[in-house]
């Protein structure tokens, strides 16, 4: 049985005592293959390669940080940029022709935008195509955006919005397989092999989160435990009895589960076999990641996905943990200004827009995800050529415009949460002509009746916020427990401006 020996490949990078990563015991075969630069499938179904397209400086930088690199399909993951872009263009042309032919919504949008499939000659021509929005998907409910006969679909998922009809997402057999492929690729990028025991603590059902990762882990050959969310005692029992090495869950459940372990006096480093957690479905900060890593004694890998784009596996962190590789042979990404819709250059933060390239049942062009991120254009030390995106910092719907500057409440929250003398409760008040005041509670430890101390702290926070949001807010420090506490989702922004 697989669970009698849960240890994964010897070349697994591990967290060193100082938090730095080291690579121990890379297998001899694997190293020999690396020197020859060939592709070899090892006993774990994982391929290793030195194949890549980076310059000499990059290769030497890589060899210092990574002794053995594992890929699911190196030929796809390390494809040279020109070849990857040629593949994108070919797939884009095919997708545009298909939707124009078979989806009335797109035929109508193309007519309105006065564009035809023949107008797509380069990747830059993508910008001539109309956007697709969440409202388009809801209005097409149940099957208005289907590009194949219903008989050729295999699975239905839905994405529930907070208002109105859900979005229905159909998968063909090929779509189910492709979604699993991307998960296999992503999990292997995070160090997983067929020897891993994967406990899936996400919700199974209409939501894409658990089923898509389930199939991906099975593709690698892992033993999959479809635990679903909740029931911490059962989760713990499964982890102990089957030596679970990898878990998939939301960041909030991970923090809760860490508390449960503490209460049961379980030391995850000694008593469990956990090596990595895949977290997703909720935006979270780098600080939260490190907190989960410390509390559970494992490495946390961030991921990005949305039901409209097959669910999880759109973008995933590799072992470098420095941004998520967005799988560009399956999706084209753009970053736009959420207000004007204009394209923004790499490095600038804006709304992520995605176009599917191989989706069969339900291709979607230029989908406005409303998620805010930026593109990392620099090559990654792991050797993958697919560009990365930064962690999601908010939703376009949350954006505030103050004195002409785009501000996301999450930017302010991140700064406030990094100051130990501050509590967790805060509110952003906008008044008059773009006057912004951040009211924040002091923590019990930070509460001090010395006026000069409070003033100094206040000035420090004004400085930190100004550096982050590029405009100077007022900061009001208030005693602990004085701001209103809300049940459920807290109301963080009060906009009383008369604009
Ligand atoms: Zn990487």
Of the candidates 341, 361, 376, 371, the one whose C-alpha atom is nearest the C-alpha of residue 144 is: 361
- How distant is the alpha carbon of residue 378 from its chain centre? 18
Taking the centre of ligand 1 as the mean of its atom positions, its distance from the CA of residue 200, in whole angstroms, is 24
- Tell me what pLDDT residue 62 has: 40
What are residue 56's phi and psi, to 5 degrees? -55, -40
Give the dihedral sign, CA 346/347/351/354.
positive
pLDDT of residue 450: 86
pLDDT at 350 over 60: yes
| Tokens describing residue 414 | 């991140």
Residue 215 is predicted with a pLDDT of: 98
Before 142, cis peptide (omega within 30)?
Answer: yes
Instruction: Assess whether pLDDT exceeds 80 at residue 198.
Output: yes
Q: If you measure from the C-alpha of residue 367 to the centroid of ligand 1, how many angstroms do you get, rounded to a whole number? A: 25
pLDDT in tens, 428-483: 999 988 899 999 999 888 888 788 999 999 999 999 999 988 889 999 999 988 98
In this predicted model, what pLDDT tens digit does every residue of 394-420 receive, in sequence order?
888 888 888 888 888 888 888 888 888
Question: What region does 307 belong to: left with phi over 0, alpha with psi -120 to 50, or beta?
Answer: alpha
Among all chains, which residue has been given the structure tokens 């990574």? 66
Beta bridge partners of 200: 248
Rounded to two decimals, the pTM is 0.77
Residue 423's Cα: distance from chain center in Å? 28
The Cα–Cα gap between 137 and 140 comes to 5
> Residue 283 pLDDT > 60, yes or no?
yes
Tell me whether residue 488 is exposed, middle or buried, using C-beta atoms within 10 angstroms of its C-beta: 0 to 12, 13 to 18, 19 or more: exposed
- Domains in the chain (CATH in brackets) are 13-77 (no CATH), 172-396 (3.40.50.12780), 400-497 (3.30.300.30)
DSSP secondary structure code for residue 124 in this structure: G
C-alpha 324 – ligand 1 centre gap (Å): 8
Give residue 287 CA to ligand 1 midpoint distance, Å: 20
The predicted structure's pLDDT at residue 233: 96
How far does residue 48's CA lie from ligand 1's centre (Å)? 14
Q: For residue 329, report the distance from its CA to the centre of ligand 1, in Å.
A: 16
CA of 356 to the centre of ligand 1 (A): 22
How far from the centroid of its chain's Cα atoms is residue 394's Cα?
12
Strand partners, 354: 333, 367
Distance 323 CA to ligand 1 centre (A): 8
Token representation of residue 198: 């994967």
- Rounded CA-CA distance 145/171 in Å is 12
Span from the CA of 380 to the centroid of ligand 1 (angstroms):
5
Confidence of residue 247 (pLDDT cuts 50, 70, 90): very high
Q: How far is the CA of 404 from the centre of ligand 1 (A)?
A: 36
Instruction: Taking residues 260-284, report their average pLDDT.
Output: 92
Residue 311 has pLDDT above 50, yes or no: yes
How high is the pLDDT of residue 375? 97
Report the pLDDT value the prediction gives residue 490, as an integer from 0 to 100. 61
Separation of CA 12 and ligand 1 centre (Å): 15
- The pLDDT mean for the chain works out to 85
Ligand 1 centre distance from Cα of residue 428 (Å): 37
| 49-53 long-range contacts, CB within 8 A, separation 24+ | 49/74, 49/78, 49/383, 50/383, 51/75, 51/78, 52/78, 52/80, 52/383, 52/385, 53/78, 53/79, 53/80, 53/81, 53/385
25: left (phi over 0), alpha (psi -120 to 50) or beta: left
When pLDDT is averaged across residues 188-193 and rounded to a whole number, the result is 97
The β-bridge partners of 279 are 249, 302
CA angle 352, 132, 120 (to 5 degrees): 90
Distance in Å, CA 485 to ligand 1 centroid: 41
CA of 177 to the centre of ligand 1 (A): 23
Distance from the Cα of residue 277 to its chain's centroid: 13
- pLDDT at position 10: 34
Select the more confidently predicted residue: 410 or 301: 301
How close are the terminal C-alpha atoms of the chain, in Å?
67
Strand extents, DSSP E, 146-286: 153-159, 167-172, 197-200, 223-225, 246-249, 276-279
Helices (H), 103-207: 104-113, 134-139, 173-189
Cα of 263 vs centre of ligand 1, distance in Å, is 36
Q: What's the 386 CA to ligand 1 centre distance in angstroms? A: 8
Q: How confident is the model at residue 191 (pLDDT cuts 50, 70, 90)?
A: very high
Look-up of token digits 């969440």: 134
Beta bridge partners of residue 324, listed in sequence order = 317, 389
Look up residue 445 and give its DSSP letter.
T
From ligand 1's centre to the CA of 321, what distance in Å? 8
303 C-alpha vs ligand 1 centroid, how far in Å? 13
Segment 341-368 shows an average pLDDT of: 96
Quick one: pLDDT at residue 42?
Answer: 56
Say what the pLDDT of residue 4 is.
32
* CB-based burial label for 404 (10 Å; 0-12, 13-18, 19+): exposed
Whole-number Å distance, alpha carbon 141 to ligand 1 midpoint, is: 37
How far does residue 398's CA lie from ligand 1's centre (Å)?
30
The radius of gyration of the chain from alpha carbons, rounded to an integer in Å, stands at 24
Q: For 350-364, what is the mean pLDDT?
A: 97
Which secondary structure element, helix H or strand E, spans residue 94, and what is its range? helix 81-102
- What is the C-alpha to C-alpha distance for residues 247 and 188, in angstroms, rounded to an integer? 14
From the CB of residue 43, how many other CB atoms can be counted at a distance below 10 Å?
Answer: 11
pLDDT in tens, 62-102: 433 443 569 999 999 999 999 999 999 999 999 999 999 99
Cα of 381 from ligand 1 centre, angstroms: 6
Query: What pLDDT is stored for residue 33 in this prediction?
Result: 38
Distance 153 CA to ligand 1 centre (A): 34
Region 327-340 average pLDDT: 96
pLDDT of residue 256: 85
Residue 29 confidence (pLDDT) above 60: no
pLDDT 10s digits, 122-147: 999 999 999 999 999 999 999 999 99
- Tell me the per-residue pLDDT of 211-242, one tens digit each, with 9 for 90 and over: 999 999 999 999 999 999 989 999 999 999 99
Model confidence pLDDT, tens digit, residues 432-441: 888 999 999 9
Q: What's the gap in Å between 462 CA and the centre of ligand 1?
A: 36
**Whole-number pLDDT of residue 165:** 78
């Amino acid at each position: 049985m697989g669970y009698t020996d849960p240890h994964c490949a010897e070349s697994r990078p591990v967290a060193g005592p100082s938090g730095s990563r080291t690579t121990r015991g890379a297998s001899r075969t694997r190293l020999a293959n690396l020197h020859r630069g060939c592709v070899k499938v090892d006993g774990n179904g994982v391929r290793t390669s030195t194949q890549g397209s980076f310059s000499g400086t990059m290769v030497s930088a890589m060899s210092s940080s990574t002794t053995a690199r594992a890929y699911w399909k190196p030929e796809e993951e390390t494809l040279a940029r020109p070849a990857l872009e040629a593949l994108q263009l070919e797939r884009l042309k095919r997708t545009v022709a298909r939707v124009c032919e078979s989806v009335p919504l797109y035929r109508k949008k193309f007519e309105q935008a006065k564009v035809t499939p023949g107008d797509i000659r380069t990747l830059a021509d993508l910008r001539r195509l109309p956007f697709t929005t969440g409202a388009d998907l809801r209005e097409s409910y149940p099957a208005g955006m289907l590009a194949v006969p219903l008989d050729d679909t295999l699975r239905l998922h839905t994405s529930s919005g907070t208002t109105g009809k859900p979005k229905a997402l159909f998968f063909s057999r090929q779509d189910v397989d492709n979604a699993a492929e991307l998960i296999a690729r992503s999990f292997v990028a995070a160090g997983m092999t067929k020897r891993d025991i994967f406990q899936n603590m996400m919700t199974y059902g209409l939501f894409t989160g658990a089923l898509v990762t389930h199939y991906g882990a099975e593709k690698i050959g892992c033993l999959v435990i479809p635990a679903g969310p909740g029931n911490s005692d059962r989760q713990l029992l499964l982890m102990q009895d089957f030596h679970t090495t990898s878990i998939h869950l939301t960041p909030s459940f991970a923090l809760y589960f860490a508390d449960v372990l503490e209460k049961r006096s379980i030391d995850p480093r000694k008593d469990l076999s956990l090596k990595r957690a895949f977290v997703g479905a909720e935006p979270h900060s780098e600080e939260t990641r490190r907190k989960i890593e410390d509390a559970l004694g494992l490495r946390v890998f961030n991921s990005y996905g949305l039901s409209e784009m097959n669910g999880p596996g759109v973008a995933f962190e590799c072992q470098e943990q420095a941004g998520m590789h967005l799988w560009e042979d399956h999706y084209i990404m753009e970053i736009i200004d959420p207000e004007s819709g204009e394209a923004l250059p790499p490095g600038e933060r804006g709304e992520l827009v995605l176009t599917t390239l191989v989706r069969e049942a339900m291709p979607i062009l230029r989908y406005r995800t409303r998620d805010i991120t930026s593109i990392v254009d620099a090559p990654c030390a792991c050797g993958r050529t697919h560009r990365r995106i930064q962690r999601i910092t908010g939703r376009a719907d949350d954006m505030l415009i103050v004195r002409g500057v785009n501000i996301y409440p999450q930017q302010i929250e991140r700064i406030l949460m990094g100051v130990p003398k501050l509590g967790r409760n805060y509110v952003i008040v906008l008044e008059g002509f773009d006057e912004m005041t951040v009211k924040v509670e002091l923590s019990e430890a930070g509460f001090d009746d010395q006026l000069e101390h409070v003033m100094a702290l206040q000035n420090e926070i004004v400085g930190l916020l100004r550096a982050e949001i590029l405009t100077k807010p007022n900061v009001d420090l208030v005693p602990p427990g004085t701001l209103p506490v809300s049940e459920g989702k807290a109301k963080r922004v009060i906009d009383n401006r008369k604009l």
